[in-house]
Each structure stands twice: as structure tokens, then as C-alpha cells.
């Protein structure tokens, strides 16, 4: 396999490559994107590494099945139960009596043993040498935009933050869509009409509106996990988003109740309202190989 053109790059070379990035160019938020954009690997090499990673990594349920602790029917039952609660798969399996704590620990250890990070997969495929990867990892950590936020303290901010975090958890759980969030930005005029959009209200200490917008192809990925068996892409995409925002708010309400806050949610709706004097913010959830998912939270 051919080596990337920056195979002999030094730390100084990496720094110069970053500084030479043009203004307005897409800022990579995932390591794979970064390595391709700055010439460490090609798109084809990254795709090969992703295939290796996908073949190696297993979900926790699959690990438990491989060890003989669960059946496929057990896994389906636990996944179905997750629609009603925001508990992680392992904790819910124990709560339902499907796994003992010892079996859960064994399944987690098996999952950790098999887990392959994208950088390791690139080294394994021969796309990049390990020393250069270490340099690139350090450079990426300095270059990538930070999404870290101070923990919220007031009731409204806690609810807003929980909506974003719950959205990210469910996107991963249902569609295997791993996301990274941008910092909060002021609310804008609304989503692009080419995107699928669904909204829902959370009513309690105040009134919050959660509006999620995503590309049709991303909604179709979610539909495979939420609405299997349907074949109308347009209908399935919108219906999957309705189901998703309903789950997000339901799980958020449960999480806030554990903090002593009382909220309730309304039915989903798809018509973006005319926002004139309402306050709020927008967070982008970046997804590899998909357009960013837009979360607008208005109050």
C-alpha cells in the first residue's frame, strides 16, 4: 500500500500544515476528517480503515450474545425497553434480570478487548505509521474546535443541556451516529427547507421548544432503527424524527424529575414557527459522513 505524501512529516511540518489552512475551509471535528484534509491519509485509506474498525468493533448486546449470556431475542427486548428509559444497555439488562452483574462485567471486558479506534485501524491497514499518527493526534487535539461547556447550574440551563446530551445519546444508540457538538450559537431564522424538521415542547419551569433538523439520508438511517419494515423514504424519515424527539423529551423529563424538576412534553409537530421575540440557541451535532444535525432550543 502506498504511503501518504506527508509520511516523513515532523511536528513542525504538522504545525505549518495547520497554519496554511485557508479561511472558511471546513474545520474537521473527527480525527479521520482531519487526517484526510491535511494529507496524512487518502479518503480511500480512511474508508478501508473504517471497514476494518466496523468489522472488529461490537455492540455490547452482540458481545453478550457471543459469550452466551443473551439471545438475540433478549437483545431485541432490551432495545425495545430503551424506548421507555434512558438507561444504558448494560444497566437495563441487569435491571430486567437478563444479565447478572458478573456477566455484564465480562461482556464489557470482551467489548473493550475487541474495540479498535480509527487511528489503530489506519496503522493496522498500513495507511500511516504509528509515530506519525501520534504526532497527528497531538496536533488534532490542539486544532479541533472545543465543544466543552461549563456545567449548567440553573433549572432552565440544566433542561437545555439535558436535551442536547440526550439527543446525542439516542442518535448513537438508535442509528449508531456518533456525534460531536458545537458550542451554542444564537438562534437563527430557522432550518433549510431541504432538511427534515420536527419540533416538540417541554413545559415546566419555563417553556422550551426543541427543533431537530437533519438531512433526509440521516433520517433514513434513524428510521431503520426506529421503524423497520416501512418503505416510503419521505414518510419514514419524518415519522422516525417524530418518534426520536418524543423519546428525547420523554427521557429528558425522567432525568429532570430525578433532579426534582417537574416537566411534561407536548406531541411532536413539523411546522417551524415564526420566531420573533423568542430567545434560544442552536447547537450543531457533527456526524461523520453526514451533514450536521441542527438542534434549535427556543424559550
Q: Are residues 69 and 169 in the same domain?
A: no
Query: 294 pLDDT exceeds 90?
Result: yes
The whole-number pLDDT of residue 48 equals 93
- 149, part of any domain: no
Confidence label for 259 from pLDDT (cuts 50, 70 and 90): confident
pLDDT at 247 over 80: yes
Residue 48 within a domain: yes
Assess whether pLDDT exceeds 70 at residue 39: yes
The whole-number pLDDT of residue 66 equals: 93
CATH of the domain at 184: 3.40.1550.10
User: pTM above 0.85?
Assistant: no
**What does the mean pLDDT of the chain come to?**
83
**Residues 100 and 217 both lie in one domain:** no
Q: Which structural domain range is residue 30 located in?
A: 11-55+116-143
pLDDT at 224 (0 to 100)? 86
Comparing CA positions, the residue from 161, 120, 116 lying closest to residue 255 is 161
Checking DSSP bridges between strand 280-287 and strand 185-186, what pairing results, if any? antiparallel
pLDDT at 84 (0 to 100) = 81
Looking at the fold, whether 18 and 42 belong to one and the same domain comes out as yes
Q: Identify the band that residue 289 occupies on the pLDDT scale cut at 50, 70 and 90.
A: confident
- For residue 35, is pLDDT > 70? yes
d(CA 31, CA 144): 9
Q: Are residues 121 and 105 in the same domain?
A: no
Q: Are residues 181 and 87 part of one domain?
A: no
Task: Give the pLDDT score at 77.
Answer: 93
User: Is residue 5 scored above 60 in pLDDT?
Assistant: no
Give the number of domains in the chain: 3
Q: Which of 211, 209, 212 is nearest to 278 (CA)?
A: 209
Does 76 share its domain with 168?
Answer: no
Q: Are residues 164 and 292 in the same domain?
A: yes
Which residues does 105 contact at the CB level (< 8 Å), separation at least 6?
none
The pLDDT assigned to 156 comes to 85
pLDDT at 107 over 80: yes
Q: 77 in the Ramachandran plot: left (φ > 0), alpha (ψ -120 to 50) or beta?
A: alpha
Averaged over 148-160, what is the pLDDT? 71
Q: For residue 123, what pLDDT is reported?
A: 93
- For residue 5, being part of any structural domain is answered with no
Q: Is residue 3 scored above 80 in pLDDT?
A: no
Same domain, 193 and 204: yes
| pLDDT band of 149, cuts 50, 70, 90 | low
User: How many C-beta atoms surround the C-beta of residue 93 within 10 A?
Assistant: 26
Q: Cα angle at 289 between 284 and 292, to 5 degrees? A: 15
Does residue 186 share a domain with residue 287?
yes
Q: Is residue 78 part of a domain?
A: yes
Residue 107 domain flag: yes
d(CA 265, CA 259): 17
* pLDDT on residue 11: 45
- Across 154-277, where does the E strand assignment appear? 179-181, 185-186, 196-203, 207-214, 264-265
Residue 3 inside a domain? The answer is no
Strands (E), the chain: 179-181, 185-186, 196-203, 207-214, 264-265, 280-287, 290-298
At residue 144 the predicted structure's pLDDT band, cuts being 50, 70 and 90, is: low
CB 143 within 8 A of CB 189: no
pLDDT bracket for residue 152 (50, 70, 90): low
The distance from CA 85 to its chain's CA centroid, rounded to whole angstroms, is 18
Report the C-alpha gap between 245 and 208 in whole angstroms: 13
Judgement on whether residues 210 and 284 belong to the same structural domain of the protein: yes
Coil, helix or strand for 269? Answer: strand
Report yes or no on 150 lying in a domain: no
Same-domain status, 35 and 76 = no
What pLDDT does 197 receive?
94
What pLDDT sits at residue 151?
A: 53
pLDDT band at 7 (very low <50, low <70, confident <90, very high): very low
Residue 148 lies in a domain: no
Amino acid at each position: 500500500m502506498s504511503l501518504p505524501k506527508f509520511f516523513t512529516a515532523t511536528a513542525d511540518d504538522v504545525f505549518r500544515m495547520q497554519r496554511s489552512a485557508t479561511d472558511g475551509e471546513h474545520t474537521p471535528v473527527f480525527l479521520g476528517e482531519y487526517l484526510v484534509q491535511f494529507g496524512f491519509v487518502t479518503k480511500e485509506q480512511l474508508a478501508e480503515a473504517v471497514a476494518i474498525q466496523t468489522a472488529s468493533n461490537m455492540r455490547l448486546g452482540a458481545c453478550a450474545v457471543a459469550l452466551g449470556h443473551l439471545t438475540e431475542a433478549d437483545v431485541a427486548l432490551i432495545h425495545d425497553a430503551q424506548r421507555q428509559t434512558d438507561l444504558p444497555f448494560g444497566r437495563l439488562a441487569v435491571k430486567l434480570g437478563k444479565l447478572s452483574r458478573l456477566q455484564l462485567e465480562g461482556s464489557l471486558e470482551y467489548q473493550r478487548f475487541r474495540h479498535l479506534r480509527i487511528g489503530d485501524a489506519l496503522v493496522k491497514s498500513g495507511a500511516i505509521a504509528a509515530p506519525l499518527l501520534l504526532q497527528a493526534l497531538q496536533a488534532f487535539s490542539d486544532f479541533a474546535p472545543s465543544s466543552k461547556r461549563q456545567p449548567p447550574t440553573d433549572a432552565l440551563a440544566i433542561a437545555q443541556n439535558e436535551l442536547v446530551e440526550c439527543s446525542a445519546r439516542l442518535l448513537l444508540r438508535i442509528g449508531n451516529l456518533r456525534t460531536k457538538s458545537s458550542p451554542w450559537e444564537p438562534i437563527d431564522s430557522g432550518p433549510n427547507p431541504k432538511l427534515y424538521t420536527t419540533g416538540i415542547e417541554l413545559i415546566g419551569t419555563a417553556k422550551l421548544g426543541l427543533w431537530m433538523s437533519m438531512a433526509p439520508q440521516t433520517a433514513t438511517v434513524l428510521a431503520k432503527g426506529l421503524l423497520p419494515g416501512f418503505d416510503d423514504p419521505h414518510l419514514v424519515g419524518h415519522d422516525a424524527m417524530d418518534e426520536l424527539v418524543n423519546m428525547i423529551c420523554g427521557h429528558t423529563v425522567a432525568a429532570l424529575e430525578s433532579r426534582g424538576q417537574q416537566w411534561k412534553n407536548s406531541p411532536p409537530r413539523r411546522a417551524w414557527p415564526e420566531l420573533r421575540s423568542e430567545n434560544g440557541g442552536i447547537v450543531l451535532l457533527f456526524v461523520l459522513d453526514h451533514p450536521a444535525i441542527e438542534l434549535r432550543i427556543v424559550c
